[in-house]
């Protein structure tokens, strides 16, 4: 048994402080709830103390309350009759070794929504998820969120303390759900949104995999030719005596630099990459890079479509969950990702706040919304079916984007093969040209 000091709210709103003995923190919370109190803070000072739970609000001692009878563990979700964790796969949050993956976060979100829908209190639901977590990192994270909630923070504020695990959009949606009183509905919507995001990102990564492999192969072939192949010809050219062609001189010079200063070149590239990454993380660098990307001929329209799909799905999801339009727009714009596009949508939100309809307000974001899309949004807003129309637009855009990605990959494959052939061809021509010069010199 351990001794716990606690602070809790009484039904009349006053704060009560006391000390109780319990086997663990979860049992201490159950005892406090059995007294009709709402826990604010529960800490274990480290020393053991005898006695039952006592309350001392405003300097008055209350009658010690009896400890609640132990509950049957078989009645708890995810537990068998012996109190051990069941093998129900629905409560297995997955294991990834030492980090919380998007899949683990999605499972956590969906299970938390299910527990809250079943009437389980939030603190108890977080205890269950902590106990059922197969990943130690996830268990520690859920425990931290639980402790912060017990200490009086809202769920959104507790999650905001861990931005590496809970993205800003996630926290904003939870905050909207808590404010509106439909947290379990919003959590289900978040889980569905995460599943869609994962599917879409998977398609993009799959589409980029083969061109990336070809690019790495091309660089590998180029390095092999410059480091191992060219030096064999260089010994022949040394005793040639005649002046080498310009292309051959460039290839030979590049080969000498790679062999003599290759490590320094790699180190310089690593340092340059480090500074480039630091610049891209900064606000000016990120804006400059995103501006270049969004104006790129092929990549720009794809990124704009992907951002529009995310925005429409997020906005439709929030409106369908009952979140007000202004709050939904403020949350949905964070899901776009590109800060330039976020700024454009922010200007549209200001016009909506002034009382203008959503469709015309988004008219300035033509890089995201076409004229036909704006008309569909306007009609849906007038008919009261804006949430359904936004989700439908997101589905249609994702379907079109999937087809465009397949087309882009189909064009990228022969382009990468052409680049590889060009690298090899230029080097081959540069090495053969001195041979013809040698024949003319002999004649």
- Gap between the terminal Cα atoms of the chain: 102
pLDDT for res 45 = 64
Give the pLDDT mean for 177-206.
77
pLDDT for res 442 = 54
Locus of tokens 């809970």: 166
Burial class (CB in 10 A: 0-12, 13-18, 19+), 320: middle
Cβ-based neighbours of 427, under 8 Å, separated by 6 or more: 222, 225, 226, 229, 230, 251
Q: Are 386 and 358 spatial neighbours (Cβ–Cβ below 8 Å)? A: yes
pLDDT level of residue 242 (50, 70, 90 thresholds): low
The tokens for 137 are 């990192």
Residue 321 DSSP label: T
Domain at 196-443, CATH class = mainly alpha
Q: 73-77, 332-336, 354-358 — which is least confidently predicted?
A: 73-77
Nearest to 22 by CA among 58, 49, 62, 55: 49
Q: Are 179 and 326 spatial neighbours (Cβ–Cβ below 8 Å)? A: no
Distance CA 42, CA 400 (A): 53
Summarised one tens digit per residue, pLDDT across range 380-396 is 888 888 888 888 888 88
pLDDT for res 271 = 94
Q: What is the mean pLDDT of the chain?
A: 75
pLDDT for res 12 = 63
Q: What is the 3-state secondary structure (H, E, C) of 202-239?
A: HHHHHHHHHHHHHHHHHHHHHHHHHHHHHHHHHHHHHC
Residues of the chain with pLDDT > 90: what percent?
Answer: 1
The tokens for 1 are 């048994």
Q: Are 179 and 157 spatial neighbours (Cβ–Cβ below 8 Å)? A: no
Give the pLDDT mean for 331-346.
75
pLDDT for res 272 = 92
Which carries the bigger pLDDT value, residue 363 or residue 82? 363
Burial class (CB in 10 A: 0-12, 13-18, 19+), 330: middle
Using DSSP, state whether 20 is helix, strand or coil: strand
Q: Is the pLDDT of residue 66 over 80?
A: no
Q: Is the pLDDT of residue 89 over 80?
A: no
């Amino acid at each position: 048994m351990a001794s716990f000091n606690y602070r809790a709210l009484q039904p009349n709103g006053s704060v009560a402080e006391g000390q109780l003995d319990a086997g663990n923190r979860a049992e201490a919370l159950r005892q406090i709830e059995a007294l009709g109190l709402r826990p604010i803070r529960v800490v274990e000072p480290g020393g053991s103390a005898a006695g039952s739970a006592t309350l001392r609000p405003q300097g008055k001692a209350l009658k010690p309350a009896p400890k609640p009878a132990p509950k049957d563990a078989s009645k708890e979700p995810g537990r068998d009759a012996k109190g051990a964790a069941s093998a129900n796969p629905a409560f297995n949050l997955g294991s990834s070794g030492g980090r919380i993956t998007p899949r683990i976060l999605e499972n956590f979100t969906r299970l938390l929504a299910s527990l809250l829908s079943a009437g389980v209190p939030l603190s108890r639901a977080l205890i269950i998820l902590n106990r059922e977590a197969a990943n130690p990192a996830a268990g520690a994270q859920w425990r931290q969120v639980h402790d912060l909630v017990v200490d009086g923070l809202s769920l959104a504020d507790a999650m905001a303390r861990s931005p590496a695990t809970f993205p800003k959009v996630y926290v904003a949606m939870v905050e909207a759900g808590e404010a509106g009183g439909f947290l379990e509905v919003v959590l289900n919507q978040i889980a569905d949104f995460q599943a869609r995001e994962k599917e879409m990102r998977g398609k993009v990564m799959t589409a980029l995999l083969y061109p990336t492999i070809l690019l790495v192969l091309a660089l590998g072939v180029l390095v092999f030719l410059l480091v191992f192949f060219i030096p064999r010809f260089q010994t022949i050219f040394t005793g040639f005596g005649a002046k080498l062609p310009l292309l051959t001189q460039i290839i030979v010079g590049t080969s000498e630099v790679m062999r003599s200063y290759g490590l320094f070149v790699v180190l310089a590239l690593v340092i340059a990459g480090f500074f480039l990454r630091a610049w891209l993380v900064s606000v000016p660098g990120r804006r400059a890079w995103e501006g270049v990307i969004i104006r790129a001929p092929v990549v720009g329209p794809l990124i704009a479509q992907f951002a529009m799909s995310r925005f429409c799905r997020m906005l439709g999801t929030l409106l369908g969950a009952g979140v007000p339009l202004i709050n939904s727009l403020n949350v949905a714009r964070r899901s776009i990702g590109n800060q330039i596009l976020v700024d454009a949508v922010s200007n549209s939100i200001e016009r909506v706040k002034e009382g203008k309809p959503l469709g015309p307000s988004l008219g300035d974001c033509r890089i995201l919304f076409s004229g036909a899309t704006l008309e569909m949004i306007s009609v849906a807003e007038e008919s009261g079916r804006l949430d359904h129309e936004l989700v439908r637009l997101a589905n249609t855009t994702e379907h079109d984007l999937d087809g465009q990605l397949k087309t882009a990959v189909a064009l990228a494959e022969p382009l990468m093969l052409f680049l590889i052939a060009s690298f090899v061809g230029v080097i081959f021509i540069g090495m053969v040209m001195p041979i013809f010069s040698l024949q003319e010199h002999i004649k």
